[in-house]
C-alpha cells in the first residue's frame, strides 16, 4: 500500500508550482486564500472554512473522498529551495475529524533536494468529532530527515471507504526563537 502511495505522489510532484512564496518556517492559520497556494490536491478537495478554527477565525477544510486510493494534500518544493528546520523544536497542527467514523491520518515529511529523499512517516488516529493537536518533536525527525532540507509535507488517508472531512488549523513549525508565538 505504501509503495502505491509513493508512486502516486512522486508522479504528481513534478506538477507543483515552483514560484510560490514559501516562508522558512510554516505558520499557517488559513486566514487568507493565499495559505492554500502552497498545497497541491491529490484526489481531494480543500477550501477555507469558518468552522472549527483554533487560531483566528478560519480553518482549512479538506475532503478526502471515499473509494480513492490515497487522497491527499501535499506541500512540495523541488530543487534547492528547501526549508531549513534546524532551529525548530516541533512541527504541529490542529485537526478535527468531522465525520462519524474515526480515521488514520498519515503524515509524511521528506527531506532532500533530489530523489531518493529521506522520509518520516507516521499515522495519527483521529476520533470522530474530537479535536486533536498533533505535535511531532524535533528529536523524532532529526534521525530520519535532513532538517536543513525539508522539501515535502503530505497529509494522506489510505483507501478510505467513506468520505472524510477534516479541518486543519494552526499549522506551524515551532522554534525557540523569541519571535515564535
Q: What is the DSSP string of 144-177?
A: TS-GGGEEEEEEE--S-SS-EEEEEEEEEEEESS
Q: What is the pLDDT of residues 29-60, one digit of tens each?
A: 999 988 888 888 999 999 999 999 999 999 99
Mean pLDDT of 82-106: 95
pLDDT of residue 67: 94
Nearest to 164 by CA among 155, 177, 173: 155
What's the number of domains the chain is made of? 1
CATH label of the domain that carries residue 47: 2.60.120.430
Alpha carbon of residue 97 to chain centroid: 15
**Which residues constitute the domain of residue 107?**
2-175
37 within some domain: yes
Which pLDDT band, with edges at 50, 70 and 90, does 4 fall under?
very low
Residue 181 lies in a domain: no
**Would the pLDDT of 132 be above 80?**
yes
Contact in structure between 167 and 51 (CB atoms under 8 Å): yes
* Residue among 108, 93, 107 nearest 167 (CA): 93
Note the pTM of the prediction, 2 decimals: 0.85
- My answer on whether omega of the bond before 63 falls inside 30° of 0, hence cis, is no
Amino acid at each position: 500500500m505504501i509503495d502505491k502511495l509513493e508512486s502516486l505522489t512522486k508522479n504528481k510532484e513534478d506538477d507543483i508550482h515552483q514560484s510560490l512564496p514559501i516562508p522558512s518556517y510554516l505558520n499557517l492559520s488559513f486566514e487568507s486564500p493565499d495559505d492554500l497556494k502552497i498545497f497541491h490536491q491529490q484526489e481531494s478537495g480543500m477550501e477555507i472554512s469558518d468552522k472549527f478554527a483554533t487560531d483566528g477565525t478560519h480553518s482549512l477544510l479538506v475532503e478526502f473522498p471515499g473509494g480513492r486510493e490515497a487522497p491527499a494534500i501535499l506541500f512540495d518544493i523541488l530543487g534547492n529551495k528547501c526549508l531549513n528546520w534546524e532551529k525548530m523544536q516541533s512541527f504541529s497542527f490542529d485537526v478535527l475529524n468531522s465525520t462519524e467514523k474515526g480515521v488514520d491520518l498519515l503524515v509524511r515529511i521528506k527531506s532532500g533536494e533530489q530523489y531518493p529523499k529521506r522520509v518520516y512517516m507516521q499515522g495519527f488516529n483521529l476520533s470522530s468529532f474530537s479535536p486533536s493537536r498533533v505535535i511531532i518533536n524535533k528529536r523524532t525527525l532529526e534521525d530520519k530527515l535532513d532538517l536543513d532540507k525539508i522539501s515535502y509535507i503530505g497529509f494522506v488517508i489510505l483507501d478510505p471507504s467513506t468520505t472524510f472531512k477534516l479541518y486543519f488549523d494552526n499549522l506551524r513549525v515551532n522554534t525557540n526563537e523569541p519571535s515564535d508565538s
